[in-house]
Amino acid sequence: MTHRDDDRVSFAQPQRKNVVQPALLVSLHDVTPAHAARLARAEQLLSALGVSEVAYLYVPDFHGRAPAHRDPAFAAWCRSARPFRVQWFLHGYYHLERREPRGAVSGRRSSAIGHWLARTFLTDGEGEFLSVSGRDLQDRLESGIASLTATTGSAPEGFVPPAWLSNADLIPALERLGVRFTENHFQVVDLRARRAVAAPVITWASRSAGRRTSSRLLAAAERRLWTRHPLVRVALHPGDFDHPHLVDSIARTIDALRANRRVIGYAGWQA
Ligand SMILES: [Zn+2]
């Protein structure tokens, strides 16, 4: 699986023991002009299901060939009215890991190998923020925030690294830039409140028939397994909407989860 222990964020204070109504966070990944037609299909489904809040994960320049901030039609689409509330999150910059020159990989050898394994087998080369650090990380985040703000008309409420892969420099950089929310494979993190909460995520893989079948089976198991979990995430990707069986699995999953939980925004789980 894609889980790595070092992803987890912990803050010094103990978790509060509030009993809250079980909740569901819905996000739409890879919001870019490159996926405009698929995103329209995703919105049709979300509207039909009556979902009240969705986080849109904006990619400023998908694979270096879709600069969203230079696309007036896309900006108009981003700002258009929807039957649900949208929270805009930044989601990488290129959503593609740029290969470093040979010999440029820094850090311990074991960590370099771990990163290579993660980026090769877990992300199909899309772990953009896995190895970006220091000034480069700060610059890329600042450029992304500027792009999102120009396109949508408001600053990002959060940042989610592509494939949920990042490194230890990300949290301090987000804190410096005043970005409130982030998440990893295991948790949702509120940097303003300095709280991290466990939140399993259900997602679908669309790249091959085998992955599509296994992700449908997994989603059916997970939506039962996590019935009692206080906070569950559902993460949708544009590629899901090319496959009617996946769309059906998404609809069933969101419906099943909503049987005992409400859809919230990222600030809602503090309640
Ligand atoms: Zn993504």
Distance of alpha carbon 157 from alpha carbon 55, whole angstroms:
9
State how far the Cα of 255 lies from the Cα of 261, in Å rounded to an integer. Answer: 10
How many angstroms is it from 95 CA to the middle of ligand 1?
Answer: 6
CA of 2 from ligand 1 middle (Å) equals: 15
Q: Separation of 123 CA from ligand 1 center, angstroms?
A: 10
* Average pLDDT taken over every residue of the chain: 88
Q: How far is CA 40 from CA 32, 47, 233, 246, in A?
A: 11, 11, 21, 16
Q: How far is the CA of 238 from the centre of ligand 1 (A)?
A: 9
Compute the distance from residue 151 Cα to the ligand 1 centre, in Å. Answer: 18
Going from the Cα of 174 to the center of ligand 1, the distance in angstroms, rounded, reads: 18
Q: How many angstroms does the Cα of residue 65 sit away from the middle of ligand 1?
A: 15
pLDDT at res. 124: 60
Decide if pLDDT at 214 tops 70.
yes
Q: H-type helices in the chain, by residue range?
A: 36-49, 72-78, 109-117, 134-152, 170-177, 209-225, 244-258
Q: Which tokens belong to 9?
A: 């964020």
The percent of residues above 70 in pLDDT, for the chain, comes to 83
pLDDT tens across 235-244, in order? Answer: 999 999 999 9
